[in-house]
Amino acid sequence: MREEAAGPHSAEEGGTTRDGRAAHTTVMLAGDGPCIAQARHKAAAFLVQARAEHDLPVSRRAIDLTQLVVSELVTNARKYAPGPILMALRITGKTVEISVWDSDPVLPVARAADAGRVGQHGLEIVMAVAQSFEARREPVGKRISVGVALLDAPGLGSAAA
């Protein structure tokens, strides 16, 4: 695993840094071994650091959902695409944008809900918890981008964990 940009860059209101850039980090994952657990850990650490060091509002639920989304996306990348995986996290406004790149150009297709189906519910789960979802081909491979709300909807709890 190689981290391209350490931690969330110093951020102010709205999830942006003092110079106007979004708080972000990018991590290169080997695509084998413990990369799924590493991705989950990096995602949680990024959000905890953004909350603690930069006073950005990040709920416990946002951290949990981000780890779930990262786990599903990196699992799919590891399963279907050979080689490295690139994960980028960016806080913009009230959302953490999760982007996972892999070398397979085939775009994922969400299946219809089927309680009797064993497995292959990952994309269905991601789309159910996401504020936004985009899958697009890149010059090499594809990129899946998902937005997760940093704050809970009313009645779901507070930003403090």
Are the beta carbons of 127 and 110 closer than 8 angstroms?
Answer: yes
pLDDT for 22 beyond 50: yes
pTM (two decimals) = 0.81
Interior CA angle at 139 toward 134 and 143, to 5°?
25
What domains does the chain contain, in order, with CATH numbers? Answer: 2-8+22-149 (3.30.565.10)
15 — pLDDT class (breaks 50, 70, 90): low
The predicted model gives 97-115 an average pLDDT of 88
For residues 86 and 99, give the distance between their C-alpha atoms in angstroms, rounded to a whole number. Answer: 8
19 secondary structure, DSSP code: T
Neighbours of 129 (CB within 10 A): 17
> For the chain, how many residues are written?
161
Residue entry with tokens 């699992």: 75
